[in-house]
Structure 1
Amino acid sequence: MTPSIQPVSDMRDESPQRPSPPVAAGINDIEGFLLLQAELEAARREAERFTDRLEWLTTSQREDVARHYIGERRKVTQMMLTAVARRSGQPGGEYESRYAALRTRLRKVTALVACSAVLWCGCLTAWVTWAAGD
């Protein structure tokens, strides 16, 4: 008898648990570190390509230009990541308030439709009763 093979979707936990706040903060720190390191490595490669085109520079001049380029790129990257992190916290409140307003509106419309249906059924029943009485 061969074992049955389950699809991957059946084997996954459908309700993954969120990590605790300290674990989530640690994961965010690691992700930020790796992102910064990848950006610095890209800056190093770009600086090397740039200085390679400047054939008249001496080795120490090339290293100096590359160091300045990497330093400036690091500042720009940190400013960009700081701005993104700051903005990422802002929309949540706005979307939550919009969602709450839409949810309230939906509840009101649902209640209105339900009341209208009950009233319509009551009127129809009264009319049928009245018409049958004649």
Structure 2
Amino acid sequence: MSERNTEGDTRPGPTREDGPGLVNQVEGYLLWQARVAEAEDRARAFVAALDWLTATQQTEVEKRYTADCLARARGDLERIARRITGLRQEYEERYRLLRARCLAASVACTALALVAAVLLRCLT
């Protein structure tokens, strides 16, 4: 993850090989930051209704509410990631079996065509 500048020195930074992975990391980071901002906004809205709390108590409730929202979001994302991994394995296995069946069918059709050609040649 480094490039050469005009003097030939290396410096940290993305390279063309980092492309899709780096884009996914940046997208994930931005999505998580949006989730954090949403949780903070919801916490502020929740605490605003509790005007009888002191400022310190409101801050504490806001922090705990935000932490709870983010913990739930992280749990949701982890469940989704596990499900995606399971589906990927399931579909890879199905694809492997389909590929094997297609290969077997191709070999059988080729053998059948070869046998038919030999029989036709023998009959003529």
Band of TM-score, shorter chain = 0.5 to 0.7
RMSD: 2.8
Identity of aligned residues (%): 29
Find 1:110's aligned residue among 103, 106, 111: 106
- Verify: 1:28 aligned to 2:43, yes or no: no
Of Structure 1 and Structure 2, the greater strand share is in 2
Q: Could you tell me which amino acid in structure 2 is paired with residue 118 of structure 1?
A: L
Find 2:61's aligned residue among 61, 65, 73: 65
Gaps of 5+ in 1: 1-18, 130-134
Compute the displacement of 1:57 (Å). Answer: 3.0
Gaps of 5+ in 2: 1-15
The TM-score normalised by the length of structure 1 is 0.61
Compute the displacement of 1:39 (Å). Answer: 0.4
Q: Distance in 2 between matches of 1:62 and 1:39?
A: 21
Q: Distance in 1 between matches of 2:105 and 2:53?
A: 73
- Verify: 1:74 aligned to 2:54, yes or no: no
Q: Distance in 2 between matches of 1:32 and 1:63?
A: 28
Compute the displacement of 1:41 (Å). Answer: 0.8
Compute the displacement of 1:107 (Å). Answer: 1.0
The DSSP-based 3-state class of the residue aligned with 1:54 is coil
The TM-score normalised by the length of structure 2 is 0.64
Greater RCO (Cα-Cα under 8 Å, separation 6 or more)? 1
